[in-house]
Amino acid sequence: MNITIICVGKIKEKYLKSAIDEYTKRLSRYCKLNVVELGDEKTPDNASEKEEILIKEKEGESILKSIKDNMFVIALELKGDMISSVELSNYMRDLGIRGDSNIAFVIGGSLGLSKAVLERANYKLCFSKMTFPHQLFRVMLLEQVYRGFRIISGEPYHK
């Protein structure tokens, strides 16, 4: 299975880079992982709604250029479905069984995802109603993908 993480924003913090490197190493047993980091647009203080939409659209254009036609796209979106770790692992397993073995998870910038990206998505997933920094969220996503592969493989995992 091929897993691509498309994310807006660069990771600067060493502790987050270290965690990402660890999960990348662990995932190498289960899949081919590709992380695509895209630049984020600067959001001015007190940006208007129109300015925020334009920023999301510009970031969205970069995201859409990174998505290949054969990818099953899972957008990380507050209005998406909230599922358990086991349900995510079953979902990933079922995608592989039906031939969707190129999965792209998309993490937007601080303002979220553009309408065009959400329309391209095959599935919308919400981890929580809470707000997380998108840099930290990348680590959380990698951990859940790793956990999913361990569940699929029948290996122990922390419940």
pLDDT tens sequence across 62-72: 999 999 999 99
Question: What pLDDT is attached to residue 100?
Answer: 94
pLDDT of residue 156: 83
Cβ neighbours of residue 21 under 8 Å, at least 6 residues apart?
none
User: Quick one: pLDDT at residue 159?
Assistant: 60
Average pLDDT over residues 17-43: 95
Give the model's pLDDT for residue 157: 76
Confidence (pLDDT) at 32: 97
DSSP, residue by residue, 90-139: HHHHHHHHTT--EEEEEE-BTTB--HHHHHH-SEEE-S-SS---HHHHHH
User: Residue range 7-27: average pLDDT?
Assistant: 95
pLDDT confidence bin for 119, thresholds 50/70/90: very high
Mean pLDDT in the chain?
94
Number of C-alpha atoms within 13 angstroms, CB side, residue 141?
25
Residue 123: the pLDDT is: 98
